[in-house]
Amino acid sequence: MASPVPSLPFQKDFDPQSGEAVAVAPGITRVTAPNASAYTFTGTNSFLLGRERLAVLDPGPDDPRHRAALHRAIGERTVDAIILTHTHRDHSAGARQLAAELRAPLWFGGRHRLSRPLGRFERNPIRNSCDWDLVPDRVLRDGESILAGDLPLVVHATPGHCANHLAFAAGDILLSGDHVMGWNSTLVSVPDGSMADYLASLDKVIALQCRQYLPAHGGPIADGPAYAQALRQHREMRNQQVLAAVQSGARSIGAVVRSIYPQQPVAVRLAAAMTIRAHVEYLAERGLLTVGRGLLGLRLTPRRN
């Protein structure tokens, strides 16, 4: 069995104060949606950006209670834009209605798209969680500077969790979306996401001059770069676990998952299988293991020397 990966210092004592406007930094207010789940933790964090003029980042689910909470927090102020980190529905499903109510344009990194084309007979396991038909009024580009209301931001493309994922720097604060979260590691599910892109995007945010991260689920991360570096190490060690499992005889994604997560319940293993498949694809692209396709699914074998 593969050796265990050291646990990350996950922060799970966060009080979301759902529906309340919580000031988290100058010009940044959090309103957490009431959509807590195994995948969203305490709910999606929407952020009001700016002071006199605003933008709304990640309006969250299509939930009238959450929209009402956002309207209360906005008050009489003008909202110049609805901005998305990405187009998974827990972040974007409420965008159309809120944009219509506020008469504000939608800004994000382009329509939802896969990180690579579907293979023959392949299906995207999270296809129903994606907002395929949402079209931006403005496509945000990597490296551009924008005004979110009256708060200056720099746009950083951070693909990996999905292809159109963006993070936003506000001085030394990074609004990190789902790319880096303190409560758990990020789901990377191919072909919606890409492990190679995810690791490259971790390197990118680590190199930024941003210290505190404000993720889209859970509480602030005080030392974002150090935590992102720990996440990267965790992923690299997971790669080694996958290779060790295959070397020891695991020939399927399920067998690898059982090797790495022997004590976890079935529900956890099902979720883990998506990210393990992303690791397998990453390793196969680098020639570190061989992946074939048979009638029963993928067949994994060690690299031939």
What's the CA gap between 81 and 104, in Å, rounded?
5
Residue 24 phi, psi (nearest 5) = -115, -15
Asked if residue 269 has pLDDT above 90, the reply is no
Asked if residue 305 has pLDDT above 70, the reply is no
Q: How confident is the model at residue 263 (pLDDT cuts 50, 70, 90)?
A: confident
CB atoms inside a 10 Å sphere around CB 153: 25
The CATH number of the structural domain formed by 22-232 is 3.60.15.10
Asked if residue 40 has pLDDT above 80, the reply is yes
Percent of the chain with pLDDT over 90: 88
| Residue carrying structure tokens 């409420």 | 94
| Residue of 112 and 264 predicted with greater confidence | 112
* Cα dist from 58 to 71, 76, 180, whole Å: 14, 20, 15
Quote the DSSP letter at residue 37.
B
CB atoms inside a 10 Å sphere around CB 173: 21
Radius of gyration of the chain measured on its C-alpha atoms: 20
Domain with CATH 1.10.10 in the chain: 240-302
Lowest mean pLDDT among 6-10, 153-157, 219-223, 294-298: 6-10
Which residues, listed in sequence order, are joined to residue 297 by a DSSP beta bridge? 294
How would DSSP label each residue in 141-164? -TT-EEEETTEEEEEEE--SSSTT
Domain with CATH 3.60.15.10 in the chain: 22-232
* Nearest-10 crossing angle of helices 195-206, 224-247: 150
Which residues, listed in sequence order, are joined to residue 147 by a DSSP beta bridge? 152
Question: What's the predicted TM-score (pTM) here?
Answer: 0.94
Fold of 240-302: Arc Repressor Mutant, subunit A (1.10.10)
* Nearest-10 crossing angle of helices 253-260, 224-247: 120
Residue ranges of E strands in the chain = 22-25, 28-32, 45-50, 53-57, 78-83, 106-108, 138-139, 145-148, 151-157, 166-170, 173-177, 212-215, 289-294, 297-302
Question: Residues with Cβ < 8 Å from 157, sequence gap 6 or more?
Answer: 109, 141, 142, 165, 166, 201
What is the per-residue pLDDT across 203-260, written as a single tens digit (0 to 9) for each? 999 999 999 999 999 999 999 999 999 999 999 999 999 999 999 999 999 999 999 9
Asked if residue 3 has pLDDT above 70, the reply is no
